[in-house]
Amino acid sequence: MSFITEIKTFAALGSGVIGSGWVARALAHGLDVVAWDPAPGAEAVLRKRIANAWPTLEQQGLAAGASQQRLRFVSTIEECVCDADFIQESAPERLDLKLDLHSKISAAAKPNALIGSSTSGLLPSEFYESSTHPERCVVGHPFNPVYLLPLVEIVGSNKTAPEAIEAAKTVYTALGMRPLHVRKEVPGFIADRLLEALWREALHLVNDGVATTGEIDDAIRFGAGLRWSFMGTFLTYTLAGGDAGMRHFMAQFGPALQLPWTYLPAPELTEGLIDAVVEGTSEQLGERSISALERYRDDCLLAVLEAVKTTKAKHGMAFSD
Ligand SMILES: NC(=O)C1=CN([C@@H]2O[C@H](COP(=O)(O)OP(=O)(O)OC[C@H]3O[C@@H](n4cnc5c(N)ncnc54)[C@H](O)[C@@H]3O)[C@@H](O)[C@H]2O)C=CC1
Ligand SMILES: C[N+](C)(C)CC(=O)CC(=O)[O-]
């Protein structure tokens, strides 16, 4: 089985937060992009989002021929996918919607064009159930902002060909990403399972009046958040065990896992909790607009990515090591 891995035309279905991020990444990599989104006014919103991200992408370095003008917005699913070499769906997270959409996308697509879904947690065996040529269908779960963060989790369904996983790795790598194959099809995959555990505990802390949303964000951004950009929890805790390493760490801190530090089940999403979270984050946002905050986030991420890259190079490591 062979799949297209030399991509000239990238199709994006759904152009919200994530779909627009894919479009920006693909355009910055010098591809032609065809996009479709059924919402009224979606094209204008998409072009505005791309324009907001473009200065960051220019700073990072555009591929030869990269241009915002190479985006074509079309009015049907079929027009969007029929000539595409690679297809990425970023539609709302609803099983019924994705099932229907993928049966239409896959019927109109070239049979050897890979199809990726941005889903954060739906299972590909379920929503690719009625797809044509399901052997080329995968999840390609990205992280926001898609045009800067390299991680993409690749998850196959029970019908995905192993060659399609390898081909998807090739395509996403060519788009400047760092693919991670999630070998078991589990809800939340790897990354969201971790992020959700943190998010759930954060909501408990707000709900219990222990901390405000700003204080919790401070606890992340001045501590573990800084080291997470270059070292994961397992290696970090190996260092926390001193010269004796992880075995000593487990002996010293393992028993704390039995203490009631975490709640595990999520708190009930009462109106009170929702208000506390919305009010807390509005205060954190202050007078800044969402696009100003996006530009600020992008500048910080560029600086962190550059610093990590330079430092890894000093240690003889590639960025993806
Ligand atoms: N927002 C996030 O942080 C992340 C979201 N994802 C995943 O990306 C996907 C999209 O999420 P967002 O971009 O956040 O949502 P969004 O709400 O920002 O965008 C969804 C877009 O899909 C469009 N849409 C509505 N019906 C559609 C249909 N039938 N076909 C195609 N498009 C349709 C909407 O008009 C909207 O523009 C979801 O599967 C989500 O789980 C993945 C990673 C992160
Ligand atoms: C909130 N979310 C589950 C949609 C988040 C993601 O899937 C990844 C991210 O960008 O944090």
> Which ligand has the shortest distance to the CA of 99?
1
**For a pLDDT cut of 90, what percent of the chain falls above it?**
85
Comparing 263 with 53, the larger pLDDT belongs to 53
pLDDT tens readout for residues 125-145 = 999 999 999 999 999 999 999
The residue ranges of DSSP E strands in the chain, in sequence order, are 9-13, 32-36, 71-73, 86-89, 114-117, 137-141, 151-156, 178-181
Mean pLDDT over each residue of the chain, to the nearest integer: 95
pLDDT at residue 311 above 90? yes
Comparing 148 with 261, the larger pLDDT belongs to 148
> Which ligand has the shortest distance to the CA of 122?
1
pLDDT at residue 269 above 90? no
List % helix, strand, coil for the chain (3-state, nearest 5): 55, 10, 35
Task: Give residue for tokens 């964000």.
Answer: 217
Amino acid at 38: P
143 lines ligand 2 (CB under 6 A): yes
Q: What is the pLDDT of residue 320?
A: 87
pLDDT at residue 256 above 80? yes
pLDDT tens readout for residues 219-233 = 999 999 999 999 999
Strands 137-141 and 151-156, bridge-based pairing: antiparallel
Amino acid at 2: S
Distance of CA 178 to the CA centre of its chain: 11
- Report in angstroms the alpha-carbon separations of 101 from 13, 37, 114, 143, 252: 9, 12, 15, 22, 51
Q: Please give the distance, rounded to the nearest whole angstrom, from the Cα atom of residue 253 to the centre of ligand 1.
A: 40
